[in-house]
Structure 1
Amino acid sequence: MSRVAMASFVGTTIEWYDFFLYGTMAALVFSQLFFTKLDPATGTIASFATFAAGFLARPLGGIAFGYFGDRAGRKASLIASLSLMGVSTFLIGILPTYSSIGILAPILLSIFRLVQGFALGGEWAGAAALATEHADEGKRGFYGGWVQLGSSAGSVLATATVLLLSALLDEDSFLSWGWRVPFLLSAVLVVLGMFIRLKVEETPVFQQMKREGRRGRMPLAAVLQRQWRTVLLVVGMHLANTTIAYLTGVFLLSYGTKQIGMESNTVLLAKLTTGLILVTLVSMPAAALGDRIGRRPVYLAGTLGLVVFAFPAFWLFDTGNFALVFIAILLLGLANVLMYQTQGAFFTEIFAPDVRCTGAALGVQVATVIGGGTAPIIATSLILFSAGNSWPVSAYLIVIGLISTACTLLVKESRPARSGAQVAAEGALSR
């Protein structure tokens, strides 16, 4: 299980490092490098539009790699998705800018972003299935949490890399060549991730399905016929999580620097610090808590946390004070972690094994298109519409939080019921 956990964590970290790195650069420099003919506000929206383009490909990637994972195996699907992500990210790192090749630059940037989204679309469901299907029944939440931790670690790694480079380089150097370095470093990380994943065995669940001939020819048709309601509920549940992730990961960086007037390094440092705290102190305890009290109560704490924190977080952020900005991002991050760390087990357990990768991937990736990819654009547009006021963004978050709360209440608890002997044994161990 340690090897499985490491393969799930490292591979997912690399994929999300690549994906979040693009979002960070979209907020900081892409408007100046690839959309130079537009005014700053329109250029930022155009930059975020290419960021959102990656989300359009994620459901397609989820369907394709979900089929691959349900038919050929979880391990094969993960190796393919990691390879595709690594190639597309490296190509972004060597892509000429608008000043060199004109309109072809933003076109190619959008294409490579679509490939990134396609690769990521199948990564999560395969990694979650790999971890949870290897784990014992009472520890699926904990080991599924390693997959989720990879996403958070990827965001932290991307932020730390950009922060380091922007601190070491002057603005001209960063704009001319420094921004490329984090994308090129991805090639080294992909080789490491591939080495680890190749050493992991296929899951016992898939091996048994293969022996018994229970692999369906059309997993997508099967899941839509048998569990279409579950897919829709997963879409609604994941809305809050994906909206927070990309609002804090991408929009707040642009909002803090261009609207509040903060230094980009200050916002990056606040993001990095809160991310490190959540990753090291909160993430895995939240995942393990799902094994003890159930996935649904922990998830509901996150959706309701978003509703409660939506206005206070922006009141704090709008001050521009580092300490208060730190608290604002921490509040939103806490709500996010409570939801996200339970998903590895929650969203895989509620689907049948023969459609597990396809069903989980489809629900999550459709939600990212609706909530995640559009969040920076919607939030930026709301700020412009309200002449710089943040209250429409807070109201937007509350609506999303209520939708996810309602969907979570409609989903049955997925954690297997424990016997009286198991409960007694856990109580004895805790004493």
Structure 2
Amino acid sequence: MGSNSSTDDTPPRSTEDAARRKRMSRVAIASSVGTTIEWYDFFLYGTMAALVFSELFFTKLDSATGTIASLATFAAGFLARPIGGIAFGYFGDRMGRKASLIASLSLMGVSTFLIGIMPTYTSIGVLAPVLLSVLRLLQGFALGGEWAGAAALATEHADDRRRGFYGGWVQIGSSAGSVLATATVLLLTTVLDQESFLAWGWRVPFLFSAVLVVVGMFIRLKVEETPVFQQMQREGRTNRRIPLAAVLQRQWRTVLLVIGMHLANTTIAYLTGVFLLAYGTTHIGMESSTILLAKFTSGLLLMSLVSMPAAALGDRIGRRPVYLAGTIGLIVTAFPAFWLFDTGSFPLALLAILLLGLANVLMYQTQGAFFTEIFDPEVRCTGAALGVQVATVIGGGTAPIIATWLIGFGDGRSWPVAVYLIFIGLVSTVCTLLVKESRPVPTAQRPETLAKDTVAP
């Protein structure tokens, strides 16, 4: 009789497949949960900056000036993000993707918790906005290193045919963080009166972050280091050069193109996440709860129905076509979105946010794999973080302030903001066209063969 397969020392393929699926499930959860927590913290601050921080920490200023000052502290967090990207990128490229992610999550959690227990202006005077700004800078520093490390962790673990899909799990953390932050604030503003919310209710979401961080840390500690980084360690490739110096020498053009590509994505995110809340309540007369509900509903719909199919589509047709659909989508929908939002109607405001959000999702869900693949493995965390975080300073952190100024320039009308979005969309479209498709490139590709192929001729 023939030999029975059970006597073969080689594990059955079904067993190997099951083990691989279990490992990738753990990686996907670790990447998305950690990123969700960090973006929850970051978006939570932006929501509170638009709603209550002007009253709590800038008491001596008039309403309009206080709102701008509050949004300025929100923008201050972006100034620290490139620095955090360089610092945590160094650790991710030299010491491991996992170590970098654990450190960034810890710092974000501590900073957010301290905001929740911090005294306001009525208690300690001018020291309150100063301390608030310091903690916001620490938040930005932590977030600066989170994304690139999480994207590298997911895509370097994934099979080459599904890197886009698993990279999308990292990106969905941003949407989930925004939805969770919005839902938390919406719940509190619904069940509490304004006086209670200003007195203590605003602190609850920041304190709740401590629980989320503990859960995220537990999950991330169970994930193994990526095969790509382990290979680099065995070959002695992690100690050759300082990652920042190497990426600026070999792939500086790629960094510049990533900055331009990410401008559209980050501008949409913070216009819809922060500016529309202040603009809708101040200029259109909408209730904050109405705008929060529209943001929550649109975020939930896009996250559940569009996000992961968009990521998987990048594995089928390529990263660049999906990304271009997003940048061009922004150009096409900028004016219609504001026409709809300006009606003050909940259904039309929801549709407006959905239009902008769809363009955003097509770009953002592709970035996890796209921006990871176009950088050499030895400088991957540093290069991707540097490009993305510089773009957030230029486009994201300043977007609410620029848009607020443009509304004043337009005598309360929104058309200057729509023109601003179209200009940003054009910049990102051109930069995307200048980058070669990255889907065929293996994640472990050696730098001498990849660096010269990243930028399209």
TM interval, shorter chain, is over 0.9
Aligned residue runs from structure 1 range 116-155, under 5 A: 116-155=139-178
Counterpart in 1 of 2:224? Answer: 201
Number of paired residues? 418
CA deviation after TM superposition for structure 1 residue 387, in Å: 1.3
Instruction: Look up the equivalent residue of 1:174 and give its one-letter code.
Output: F
Counterpart in 1 of 2:234? Answer: 211
Match status 1:305 vs 2:329: yes
Counterpart in 2 of 1:53? Answer: 76
Aligned residue runs from structure 1 range 226-245, under 5 A: 226-245=250-269
Residues 32-88 of structure 1: CA deviation (Å, up to 9, x unaligned)? 100111111111110000000000000000000000000000000000000000000
- Structure 1 CA distance for aligned equivalents of residues 143 and 41 of structure 2: 10
TM-score after normalising by structure 1: 0.96
Counterpart in 1 of 2:112? Answer: 89
Larger Rg: 2
Counterpart in 2 of 1:424? Answer: none
Contact kept? 1:90, 1:186, Cα under 8 Å = yes
Structure 1 SS opposite 2:305? helix
CA deviation after TM superposition for structure 1 residue 217, in Å: 3.2
TM-score after normalising by structure 2: 0.91
Structure 2 SS opposite 1:110? helix
Counterpart in 2 of 1:265? Answer: 289
**Aligned Cα root-mean-square deviation (Å):** 0.8
Contact kept? 1:74, 1:126, Cα under 8 Å = yes
Counterpart in 2 of 1:157? Answer: 180
Counterpart in 2 of 1:8? Answer: 31
- Structure 2 CA distance for aligned equivalents of residues 177 and 270 of structure 1: 25
Match status 1:316 vs 2:360: no
2:62 to 22, 25, 39: 39
Contact kept? 2:74, 2:136, Cα under 8 Å = yes
CA deviation after TM superposition for structure 1 residue 307, in Å: 0.3
Structure 1 SS opposite 2:375? coil
Instruction: Look up the equivalent residue of 1:415 and give its one-letter code.
Output: R
Residues 334-376 of structure 1: CA deviation (Å, up to 9, x unaligned)? 0000000000000000000000000000000000000000000
% identical aligned pairs = 85
Structure 2 SS opposite 1:259? helix
Please list every run of 5 or more consecutive structure 2 residues that lacks an aligned counterpart in the other structure: 1-23, 443-457
Counterpart in 2 of 1:427? Answer: none
- Structure 1 CA distance for aligned equivalents of residues 241 and 325 of structure 2: 38
CA deviation after TM superposition for structure 1 residue 385, in Å: 1.9
Match status 1:330 vs 2:346: no
Counterpart in 2 of 1:345? Answer: 369
Point out 4+ residue stretches in structure 1 off by more than 4 angstroms: none
- Structure 2 CA distance for aligned equivalents of residues 38 and 259 of structure 1: 19
Structure 1 SS opposite 2:60? coil
Counterpart in 2 of 1:224? Answer: 248
- Structure 1 CA distance for aligned equivalents of residues 75 and 400 of structure 2: 8
Contact kept? 1:125, 1:360, Cα under 8 Å = yes
Residues 99-140 of structure 1: CA deviation (Å, up to 9, x unaligned)? 110000000000000000000000000000000000000000
Please list every run of 5 or more consecutive structure 1 residues that lacks an aligned counterpart in the other structure: 419-431
2:212 to 186, 189, 213: 189
Structure 1 SS opposite 2:257? helix
2:88 to 56, 61, 65: 65
Counterpart in 2 of 1:423? Answer: none
Contact kept? 1:93, 1:184, Cα under 8 Å = yes
CA deviation after TM superposition for structure 1 residue 417, in Å: 7.4
- Structure 2 CA distance for aligned equivalents of residues 313 and 96 of structure 1: 39
Residues 357-411 of structure 1: CA deviation (Å, up to 9, x unaligned)? 0000000000000000000000001111221010000000000000000000000
- Structure 2 CA distance for aligned equivalents of residues 286 and 145 of structure 1: 8
Instruction: Look up the equivalent residue of 1:137 and give its one-letter code.
Output: D
- Structure 2 CA distance for aligned equivalents of residues 10 and 157 of structure 1: 12
Residues 297-336 of structure 1: CA deviation (Å, up to 9, x unaligned)? 0000000000000000000000000010000000000000
Match status 1:285 vs 2:312: no
- Structure 1 CA distance for aligned equivalents of residues 418 and 61 of structure 2: 28
- Structure 2 CA distance for aligned equivalents of residues 393 and 365 of structure 1: 23
Residues 247-293 of structure 1: CA deviation (Å, up to 9, x unaligned)? 00000011111110000000000000000000000000000000000
- Structure 2 CA distance for aligned equivalents of residues 117 and 217 of structure 1: 26
